């Protein structure tokens, strides 16, 4: 048994969207057995552009029943039935939200007549309700009113049921393991099913083939499905506009981050928040106090300031400074990793030689600071970061040359990494952006032991 549902709303986004009209048609064994429709008082003003579309005005609904008054009847009308709608992932969350406002739970199995129509009537130019009814010669009266649209959807559903393959397709969609009801209305199931459960980036495309969103994932299939379960306004609109999904495997999360940043910069997808120019936020500074002792300290980087080294976040800056202290025997107190103490005792930095306890001359300590600063200016000609490949027979490498990201490649697992020339032929050149600089800097600070240093040969 099925209930065909259509609603009209205030159009105030998914969380502020209130129902202004609802219509329900019960269908049993392919026959309409009962119907119900009513205006609904949304307890707010109806925007003029919605009135222009539906003809429903604030005055018309002022004396209409509240949804809480209609909820018992709607619950009973749809009990033990499948919730059917054209683009069900729009109507169902709004109806569910109205029940939640009343302190009631509402859970029904779902069917989408857009997705059903794509299976049963393949090859049509459009699967909007109006175009479908025109193509299939289904009468549609009172367009953009709940009763008119719900009746047309019920007639469309009857037509689907009567098609030879219709019942089997409906049962397939209702299978508990099927995700058809969750997928966007215009997305072919095959486009989702071919996604691997592996790291990479994915592209959502609209019906014109344009890339409208780029994302990255450790598990592509699981992450993409997460978009379809998200009922936020942005995600619902993204899903309504999605007609195809492409992907590229990366083998690792680090490479997926780099590939995603480059793809967003290249395509500027409308649903990706515009990446603001990322500027270094923190700097490593060096200064000498009145006792002649040289200090190192991390502070916010203000416009025009010059620092020894820049960082994109405070965590990476402190990790770098802690490692610098440990490697060169510096004092955690005079590197401002410990404030308000007279003697250093940092849990991640060994005790210094005694400059904070008066046991080491400032001149000797300052020489260590100079050596530490000199080490920061010594950059290897090329760095290679080995990563997991897309399959067991290969591995990925990320190349950084003179501190600048140069690209990545996938190489045979048995190929040596002793020189740059070993991997040069496999590299895919990539532009360097502030986003990729930030990603790589954070990785290098946290995982210095995973980096290979190669000189020019």
Is 184 a domain residue? no
67 with 166, same domain: the answer is yes
CATH code (residue 197): 3.40.1440.10
262 with 286, same domain: the answer is no
Main-chain dihedrals φ then ψ at residue 35, nearest 5 degrees: -150, 160
Residue 13 Ramachandran class (φ > 0 left, ψ -120 to 50 alpha, else beta): left
Q: How many Cα atoms are found within 13 Å in the side-chain-facing hemisphere of 48?
A: 0
**Residue 144 is among the residues annotated as catalytic for this protein:** yes
Is 277 a domain residue? no
- Helix (H) / strand (E) containing 61: helix 58-61
Is 337 a domain residue? yes
Is 36 a domain residue? yes
Question: How many structural domains is the chain composed of?
Answer: 4
196 with 90, same domain: the answer is no
For 220-279, give the DSSP string: HHHHHHHHHH--SHHHHHHHHH--EEEEEE-SSHHHHHHHHHHHHHHH--TTSPP-PPP-
Residues composing the chain:
457
371 with 391, same domain: the answer is no
367 with 225, same domain: the answer is no
Domain ends where: 240, 267, 294? Answer: 267
Give me the catalytic one of 86, 144, 336, 447: 144
Is 79 a domain residue? yes
103 with 169, same domain: the answer is yes
Is 387 a domain residue? yes
16 with 160, same domain: the answer is yes
Is 276 a domain residue? no
CATH code (residue 135): 3.30.420.10
Domain ends where: 332, 347, 377? Answer: 377
How confident is the model at residue 13, as a pLDDT?
A: 64
Tokens 């994109």 sit at which residue? 312
Q: Can you list the residues of the chain whose pLDDT is less than 50?
A: 456-457
Give me the domain span that covers residue 393: 382-454
């Amino acid at each position: 048994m099925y209930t065909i549902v259509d609603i009209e709303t205030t159009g105030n986004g998914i969380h502020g969207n209130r129902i202004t009209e609802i219509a329900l048609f019960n269908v049993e064994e392919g026959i309409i057995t009962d119907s119900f429709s009513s205006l609904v008082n949304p307890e707010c003003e109806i925007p003029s552009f919605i009135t222009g579309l539906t003809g429903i005005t604030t005055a018309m609904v002022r004396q209409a029943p509240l949804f809480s008054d209609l909820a018992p009847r709607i619950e009973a009308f749809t009990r033990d039935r499948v919730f059917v709608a054209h683009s069900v992932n729009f109507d169902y969350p709004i109806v569910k939200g109205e029940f939640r406002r009343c302190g009631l739970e509402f859970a029904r199995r779902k069917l989408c007549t857009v997705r059903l129509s794509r299976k049963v009537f393949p090859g049509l130019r459009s699967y909007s309700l109006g175009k479908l009814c025109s193509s299939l010669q289904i009468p549609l009266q009172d367009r953009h009113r709940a009763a008119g649209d719900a009746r047309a959807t019920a007639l469309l559903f009857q037509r689907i049921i009567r098609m030879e393959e219709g019942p089997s397709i409906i049962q397939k969609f209702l299978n508990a393991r099927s995700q058809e009801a969750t997928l966007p209305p215009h997305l072919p199931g095959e486009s989702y099913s071919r996604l691997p459960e592996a790291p990479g980036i994915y592209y959502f495309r609209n019906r014109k083939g344009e890339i409208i969103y780029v994302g990255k994932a450790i598990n592509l299939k699981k992450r993409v499905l997460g978009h379809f379960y998200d009922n936020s306004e942005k995600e619902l609109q993204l899903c309504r506009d999605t007609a195809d999904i492409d992907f590229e495997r990366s083998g690792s999360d680090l490479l997926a981050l780099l590939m995603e940043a480059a793809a967003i910069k290249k395509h500027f997808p409308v649903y990706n928040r515009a990446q603001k120019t990322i500027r270094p936020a923190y700097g490593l500074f060096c200064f000498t106090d009145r006792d002649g002792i040289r200090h190192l300290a991390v502070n916010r980087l203000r416009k025009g300031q010059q620092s020894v080294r820049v960082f994109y976040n405070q965590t990476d800056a402190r990790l770098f400074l802690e490692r610098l202290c440990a490697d060169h025997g510096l004092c955690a107190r005079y590197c401002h990793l410990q404030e308000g103490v007279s003697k250093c005792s940092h849990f991640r930095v060994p005790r210094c030689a005694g400059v904070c306890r008066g046991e080491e001359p400032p001149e000797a300590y300052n020489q260590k600071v100079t050596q530490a600063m000199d080490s920061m200016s010594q950059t290897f000609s090329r760095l290679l970061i080995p990563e997991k490949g897309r399959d067991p027979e290969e591995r990925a490498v990320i190349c950084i040359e003179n501190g600048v990201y140069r690209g990545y490649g996938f190489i045979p697992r048995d190929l040596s990494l002793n020189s740059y020339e070993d991997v040069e032929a496999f590299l895919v050149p990539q532009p360097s952006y502030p986003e990729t600089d930030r990603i790589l800097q954070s990785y290098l600070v946290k995982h210095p032991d995973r980096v290979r240093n190669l000189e020019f040969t």
